[in-house]
């Protein structure tokens, strides 16, 4: 190696790079600062989707295509910095799904983990591996990876809209996406509604408890009424956190960790007139407004929000929330995956 030729000129370096390129080689020193930046960089941009503005498109989609034909009748919320990539952040997907009375969204399964947050309407259901759960506004429902699931709505029901959150981009990164269709539109019901909650949802577990969904919570439905009650009780027993108000995480009762292995899901309460201190973290986060009105300042952008609106906070962008009236916000992010990998960081104030 002592006889290695030294290339001093810029032209000489470019010639070296051209010859290296034929062997599928590239110089790290030309891209090092982009690969290892001083702080997170992302094409994800702050954005807000006003429900009253997008609801007409949701309604119209119900006339344009059936749930069976579409498989999933969903309008994707595409981040404006990544249009055409079917993602709301670099690692997460977000969409709003509509199911009309009398429809069934056919049963299938996939390696992607999914969550549902019910936005409008009640009476539809999701079935997961033979157990159905009814949908009501504010409910948080999980579809664990590789579980059969379908959605249905009785003939005498009302249109129901929910937010879909999935780790699709994450699995694309790992090239780990698989899917399979069930032979029938609806899977057979093999357990009465509430079975999973009875087994695992009362701070108790069967002596021979086996995690039915692997690392995902054995409770796949978290009713809003119970979650809201827990927030209200928390608010009576302490001051709000300066950055988050009263914020709780949906957990896996068998482990105490996040309810999903790749996605963290949260619910927070902000009292009327409360303004949070700025806070930023490495997990880009999607918010859905369950109750109340307020204002979100995300980096240099500001958005007024109301019930059913959606907004996204990119990685490492400061967030400040102001509650004009009492607010309840649902949110999800890839924090669970970042924590598992030792990557998550937060900066307060």
All domains in the chain, ordered by first residue = 47-348 (2.60.120.10)
Beta bridge partners of 151: 105, 126
Q: Rg of the Cα trace of the chain?
A: 23
Dihedral angle of Cα 329, 335, 339, 344, to the nearest 10 degrees: -100
pTM of the model: 0.95
| 125-128 and 104-110 strand pairing | unpaired
Would you give the DSSP letter of residue 282? S
H helices, E strands: number in the chain: 8, 22
**pLDDT tens digits, the chain, 349 residues: what are they?**
555 556 568 899 999 999 999 999 999 999 999 999 999 999 999 999 999 999 999 999 999 999 999 999 999 999 999 999 999 999 999 999 999 999 999 999 999 999 999 999 999 999 999 999 999 999 999 999 999 999 999 999 999 999 999 999 999 999 999 999 999 999 999 999 999 999 999 988 888 888 999 999 999 999 999 999 999 999 999 999 999 999 999 999 999 999 999 999 999 999 999 999 999 999 999 999 999 999 999 999 999 999 999 999 999 999 999 999 999 999 999 999 999 999 999 999 8
Question: Beta-strand (E) ranges in 17-61?
Answer: 47-49
User: DSSP letter string over 62-106?
Assistant: HHHS-HHHHSS-EEE---TTSTTS--SSSS-EEEEEEE-TT-EEE
Distance of alpha carbon 41 from alpha carbon 133, whole angstroms = 40
**How many residues can be counted in the chain?**
349
């Amino acid at each position: 190696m002592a006889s290695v030729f030294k290339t001093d000129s810029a032209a000489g370096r470019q010639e070296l790079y051209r010859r290296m390129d034929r062997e599928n080689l590239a110089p790290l020193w030309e891209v090092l600062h982009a690969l290892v930046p001083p702080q997170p960089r992302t094409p994800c941009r702050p954005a807000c989707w006003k429900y009253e503005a997008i609801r007409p498109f949701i309604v119209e989609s119900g006339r344009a295509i059936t749930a069976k034909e579409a498989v999933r009748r969903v309008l994707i919320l595409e981040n404006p910095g990544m249009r055409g990539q079917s993602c709301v952040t670099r690692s997460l997907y977000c969409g709003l799904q509509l199911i009309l009375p009398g429809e069934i969204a056919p049963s299938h399964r996939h390696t992607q983990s999914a969550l549902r947050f019910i936005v409008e309407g009640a009476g539809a259901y999701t079935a997961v591996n033979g157990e159905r759960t009814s949908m009501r506004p504010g409910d948080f429902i999980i579809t664990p990876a590789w579980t059969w699931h379908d959605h249905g709505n009785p003939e005498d029901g009302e249109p129901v809209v929910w937010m879909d959150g999935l780790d699709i981009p994450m699995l694309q990164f790992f090239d780990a996406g698989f899917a399979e269709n069930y032979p029938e539109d609806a899977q057979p019901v093999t357990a009465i509604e509430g079975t999973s909650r009875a087994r695992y949802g009362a701070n108790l577990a069967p002596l021979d408890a086996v995690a039915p969904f692997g690392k995902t919570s054995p409770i796949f439905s978290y009713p809003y009424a119970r979650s809201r009650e827990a927030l209200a009780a928390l608010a009576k027993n302490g001051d709000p956190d300066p950055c988050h108000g009263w914020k709780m995480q949906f957990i896996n009762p068998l482990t105490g960790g996040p309810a999903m292995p790749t996605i963290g899901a949260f619910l927070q309460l902000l009292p009327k007139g409360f303004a949070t201190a700025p806070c930023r973290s490495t997990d880009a986060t999607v918010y859905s407004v369950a109750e109340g009105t307020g204002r979100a300042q995300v980096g240099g952008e500001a958005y007024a929000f109301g019930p059913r609106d959606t907004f996204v906070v990119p990685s490492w962008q400061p967030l400040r929330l102001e509650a004009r009236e009492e607010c309840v916000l649902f949110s999800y992010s890839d924090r669970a995956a970042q924590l598992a990998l030792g990557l998550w960081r937060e900066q307060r104030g």
